[in-house]
Amino acid sequence: MIKQINVGVIGTGWCGGIRANACNSNPLVDKLYIAETNETRINELKDKLQLEEATNDWKTLINNPEIDTIIISATPEDTHYPMALSALQSGKNVFLEKPIATTMAEAEELIEVSIKNNLKFTIGYSQRFNAKYAYVKKTIDENLIGEPVTCLVSRNITRELGAKISGRTALSPAAMEATHDLDFLLWCLQPRKPVKVYSQTSGKLFSKNSNTPDHQWIMVTLDDGMTITIGAGWILPLGYPNFSNTWIEIIGTEGSLFIDDTHKDVQLNTVNKGIQYPMSSMPGEPVEHTYAGPMHEETNHFLDAVALNKPVLVKPEEAKLVMDLYLAADLSVEKGEPITMPRNKS
């Protein structure tokens, strides 16, 4: 007989809402708990989900011995480390939204505690669960385009999202957006490792009121000589809430792979609002009985990993390497020169 698990979700906004929804409908989950500081949101979810308990104090979930698994989707991002550390120290499996931490030392500590306590610990790199992105891995694994020579990913999201993200944290577009692409490309290209990174930012919009750049380019050389270039920006006109637009090119010695993830394939045109692009967010929204994007599937994968004792797809050590790389990219911006990897951790 399959053992059910009891899950607590901390922070149930945009992403945590999707996670809690997935837990609510997954038969592997027995009891579902949430911790949320926004009372309106708590009441909304109390109506929608079957909750064992809803609290505004996340420590209540950590101290509850019935809960074996915690999903952390709170913001700002500097809440992640204390929440994840307490959960892991209390013997709970942890799903943590990216970024894994704010310093390399914190990331290392979380990984150490998860290993010591024999717990599942993973990071929310949702795009690995997007079939188009998994197809890149399949193409490379099956040698369909020969030896990869260079990859380009250009990702842009709306200024509405850019303002939300940059309003709560000083983290760069590399840390908050390109992080998804650094992760998925390093995953697809394993066992190659980064040896050099150069990055430049530009800003003419957000920079009027803050130090936040509008866009960041990151160019990475891997240890077999191939290059990857990732662009991440967050000032697209509003258009549709949480719209994201991504273009991917992988060029190999025997072929190429182009992926259009610009989310223009569903176009709603109304007299009142003009053209809109539903189902265009990165995590993906609920659509009737189904979900448009990867986050629902990703959450189910984690629940499977815990309940059925299977490995997690995103290993925390991989997230630590991604973090090392985007920190190096930010350092390159600061110094105006390429940074060699691996580098001394700080």
Interacting residues of 119 by C-beta distance below 8 A, sequence separation 6+: 88, 91, 92, 93, 94, 113
Instruction: Specify the 3-state DSSP secondary structure of 283.
Output: coil
Binding mask 212-251 for ligand NAD (x = CB under 6 A): ----------------------------------------
Instruction: Name the token pair of 117.
Output: 């306590």
For 282, phi then psi, to 5°, come to -65, -50
Residues 183-202 that bind ligand NAD (CB under 6 A): none
> At residue 257, what is the residue type?
L
Nearer CB in complex with ligand NAD: 36/261: 36
**Options 4-12, 109-117, 310-318, 324-332: segment touching ligand NAD (CB under 6 A):** 4-12
Rounded Cα gap, residues 118 and 112, in angstroms: 10
Q: How far is the CB of 173 from ligand NAD (least distance, A)?
A: 12
Rounded Cα gap, residues 300 and 86, in angstroms: 23
- Select from 195, 213, 189, 148 the least CA-distant residue to 324: 195
282 is an interface residue for ligand NAD by CB under 6 A: yes
Binding ligand NAD by CB under 6 A: which of 7, 9, 15, 49? 15
Helix ranges restricted to H, 169-238 = 173, 179-188
35 is an interface residue for ligand NAD by CB under 6 A: yes
Rounded Cα gap, residues 204 and 235, in angstroms: 10
Rounded Cα gap, residues 92 and 344, in angstroms: 31
Terminus-to-terminus CA distance in the chain, angstroms? Answer: 47
- Select from 149, 108, 172, 143 the least CA-distant residue to 345: 108
Instruction: Name the token pair of 158.
Output: 């709306």
- How many residues bind to ligand NAD according to rule CB under 6 A? 24
Decide: 49 and 66 in contact? Cβ < 8 Å.
no
98 is an interface residue for ligand NAD by CB under 6 A: yes
160 is an interface residue for ligand NAD by CB under 6 A: no
Interacting residues of 159 by C-beta distance below 8 A, sequence separation 6+: 205, 206, 234, 235, 236, 237, 238
Binding mask 112-151 for ligand NAD (x = CB under 6 A): ------------x-x-------------------------
DSSP string, 221-276: EETTS-EEEEEEEEEE--SSTT-EEEEEEEEESS-EEEEEES--SS-EEETTTEEE
Nearer CB in complex with ligand NAD: 161/219: 161
Nearer CB in complex with ligand NAD: 319/339: 319
97 is an interface residue for ligand NAD by CB under 6 A: yes
**Options 5-13, 200-208, 272-280, 322-330: segment touching ligand NAD (CB under 6 A):** 5-13
Nearer CB in complex with ligand NAD: 136/282: 282
Q: How many CB atoms lie within 10 A of CB 260?
A: 12
- Closest residue to ligand NAD, judged by C-beta, is 13
Residues 46-85 that bind ligand NAD (CB under 6 A): 58, 73-75, 77, 79
Binding ligand NAD by CB under 6 A: which of 14, 52, 331, 338? 14
Nearer CB in complex with ligand NAD: 188/219: 188
Q: How far is the CB of 288 from ligand NAD (least distance, A)?
A: 21
Nearer CB in complex with ligand NAD: 73/300: 73
Q: How far is the CB of 272 from ligand NAD (least distance, A)?
A: 26
Nearer CB in complex with ligand NAD: 41/343: 41
Q: How far is the CB of 237 from ligand NAD (least distance, A)?
A: 19
Q: How far is the CB of 147 from ligand NAD (least distance, A)?
A: 30
Contact positions toward ligand NAD, by CB under 6 A?
10-16, 35-38, 41, 58, 73-75, 77, 79, 97-98, 124, 126, 282-283
